[in-house]
Structure 1
């Protein structure tokens, strides 16, 4: 099964990214990389700047400064709607599925940047293989799905773009531990396929379980970074983010 464009994965480079809302700095000079096939997590408390960092990366909020590159392509001035054409799939916080459309049409809309042809339907079958419950509910309105099913739908819709990099914002929000485990299993499978992942989460346990490297943000800045294994054993991280 190949639901991604992982065979053409490229390096993401973010340099000196800054975001201001009015006169208030939300993110200040943040920089990091996601190497081909690497999975990177960003953790931090509410208001740490995690989501603002992702939204600025995707062009959903204005950047005060910074440069973004994917492989040889400079994406700094690329509009949000065109990021998918450069191989970045985005799963937003809150899922944002189309509630009045059936599951299958939600998924097909994820392939809007390509012609709907045999390849599109083959991709659809691969997403259904990854999320069998979506196949069972393909004719049901997305608004009638549970929170966990909507999260699966949001991930499946992003995978319909055949991304080189999958960006996820708080995928575990509002989900039961069992469903969080299911999402974790899917992200691990995608990682094993070689897809690059950038994951923002408050759930540090989930983040450490699926990523190879992690960034800790505080007050709009990077406070710590390292391998997920290293940070998961750091006394301060264990106390603040793991409750140990």
Structure 2
């Protein structure tokens, strides 16, 4: 037993790269591309909230009842791939694990995610789960992206990045992903969401120790390289020390 503990203690922990940012900033696509080129894993935290909402809907759990949602978390098993094509699997007591990758992206689920994410205790448990996933990944590093990643989920990560862009640029990017909506409609939606987010999170000013990457004037490749450069700089500094 002592030998096992000693061996684990000496294992190299994955380098954690925490990336925050508003919708349309490019954080999801840029994070994934940067992770692949670095040989790291990518952890999409939003998928867990979607999967939990899906599980609540499937089991008839009251999404607005924090105790009920926490009870559901005692009965589920969550798994997500960190490399390659993303696959999300959910297991519930008494049932075989189910691949819910496409299901959690359906509109019927997306519209319910905020009902589970609003519970502080649920967020706390998922945040702990995210760190456990990273610690047990066996990878040299993991890029973890989502909301509140640099300040709440992984405030001690060696690399913390706030990726942002102007509302106009983000609207242009999002409009291409939302057929049927005009640029003006998407911009209005983004500005409304920014105003709501501003009540609880600051996507404009990085917290102390967080590096700001403004992608307004960067194309995709430049944005990916900016992240890689930041990671490499931290790795280089660590090697020297």
Q: Normalized against structure 2, the TM-score is what?
A: 0.31
Structure with the bigger percentage of strand: 1
Task: Find the structure with the greater CA-based Rg.
Answer: 2
Name the one with the larger helix percent. 2
